[in-house]
Amino acid sequence: METTDRTRELETRDIGALLWKYALPAVISQVIASIYNIVDRIFIGRGVGALAIAGLAITFPLMNIIHAFGSLIGVGSASRMSIVLGRKDKEWAENILGNSLIFTLILSGIVVTCIYLFMDRILMMFGATAETVAYAREYMVYILPGMFLITVTFNLTGLIRASGYPTKSMLIMAGGAVLNIILDPIFIFALGMGIKGAAIASTISIFCMALVSVLHFVQPDAFIRFRAHAWKLRGYIFRNITLIGMSPFLMNLAAAGVVGILNRQLLRYGGDLAVGAYGICNTYGNFLVLMIIGVCQGMQPIAGYNYGAGHGNRLKHVYGLTMWVCVALGLVGSVVSCLIPRTMMRVFTTDQQLIEIGKTALRYSMVMFPLIGFTIVNSNFFQSIDKPWVAIVTSLSRQVIFLVPMSLLIPLLFLEAGWDGLHGIWLSLTISDVLGAVLAAVLLFTQRKVFSISN
């Protein structure tokens, strides 16, 4: 089967140099994407108000639902492509390319249409109130076309990276993020469009990213390209990529449900401002998570390729190096958040009540971030080497298995003890991070034989 230097290096080059080559562009693109999300929230918080931040926080679960369907195909197809390229099967890789794009368009189209049809009902279910629902609705109406296109971008940039073009994948994501940062103040302030302007700016930027991603695979010098045989739908490809993609799919879907439950709990014990505070904490948390996921995206083609090629020692090396980097990132984020929480809250708002609520939330939610890094690496590693069920349980442990019951139980225990129920919700975040990491460690121990494979 045809191969190329772009993929052959995955089984020959030094692991540290490879991880640097593949992870750095992914991290940069994730950081820039995070920055433009943060800029969105800063512009909205300072230009529209505290209730607009709370309304924006209500939209997070819907975003997670859309991202869930994007990751179901996107992550699964990228991981599967790395494995089949490790087996030197280029035709199979091109079949994955064509089939994954078709599946992405179908699934995302269905999800976005359903959200449009039942938007108000869904927003109220996720914690919107009479004061915040208008902001949330206005944002969602204009961001949904972009969310449809972001699933296409997510899928194709993952395949661009998996087929040996990590820097190009980064430039596509970074270019869209920079464009969004430029357009935000124009639409929000210069044109006076408020929260709607932020959504329109994002949608335009996402359209540009999707267009460039598609164009990559029609260029004659691309290693993997759209070809006639790739458009024939194959059930086994859909089955293979969805099994691998099921872990991030369920994780994002669970995140939507968990945020919905937490928003309702926060409304019960702290009101709209507590929801807004959690939205700001989520922004910082997502910034760190995306950096960690960027490193894991760099690990994914290296781990998948060497697993497919049967190189156990290289697999162990890339896992260990990725773990060290991600835990260190989590530690830095944790220390900064615990030392200067008020300063971090003031970036988004001047409302003193929101700042006081948010500083406590930030400390509780970020203090165990090194353990979150450990859990995320394990989940991404196992989905990279075609161990979907281990990845699924690992990814769901923190949010579903532990956080949901904790967020319902601990506030009640706090109230019975005469304490503030809102602090009980914040504490449930910390406890769930610890328990999720413990379960991830147990699952890793049960799968330790994967590092002993050989061809």
Task: Give the rounded distance of the alpha carbon of 113 from its chain centre.
Answer: 22
As a whole-number percent, the residues of the chain with pLDDT over 70 amount to: 96
Mean pLDDT of the chain: 85
Mean pLDDT for 139-145 is 90
Give the model's pLDDT for residue 3.
47
245 versus 146: which is more confidently predicted? 146
pTM metric for this prediction: 0.73
Position 47 confidence tier, pLDDT thresholds 50, 70, 90: low
254 versus 233: which is more confidently predicted? 233
Mean pLDDT for 109-131 is 87
C-alpha distances in angstroms, 427 versus 117, 263, 302, 360, 368?
Answer: 37, 15, 37, 10, 11
As a whole-number percent, the residues of the chain with pLDDT over 90 amount to: 29
Question: Is the pLDDT confidence value at 7 over 70?
Answer: no
Question: Is the pLDDT confidence value at 2 over 50?
Answer: no
- For 174-206, the pLDDT digits (tens) are 888 889 889 988 998 888 888 888 889 989 999
Across 86-90, 92-96, 394-398, 429-433, the highest mean pLDDT is recorded for: 429-433
Tokens linked to 271: 């009101």
- For 237-282, the pLDDT digits (tens) are 888 888 878 877 877 777 777 877 888 888 889 888 888 888 888 8
Tabulate helix, strand, coil % of the chain (nearest 5). 85, 0, 15
Give the model's pLDDT for residue 154.
85
Question: Is the pLDDT confidence value at 84 over 50?
Answer: yes
Give the model's pLDDT for residue 454.
67
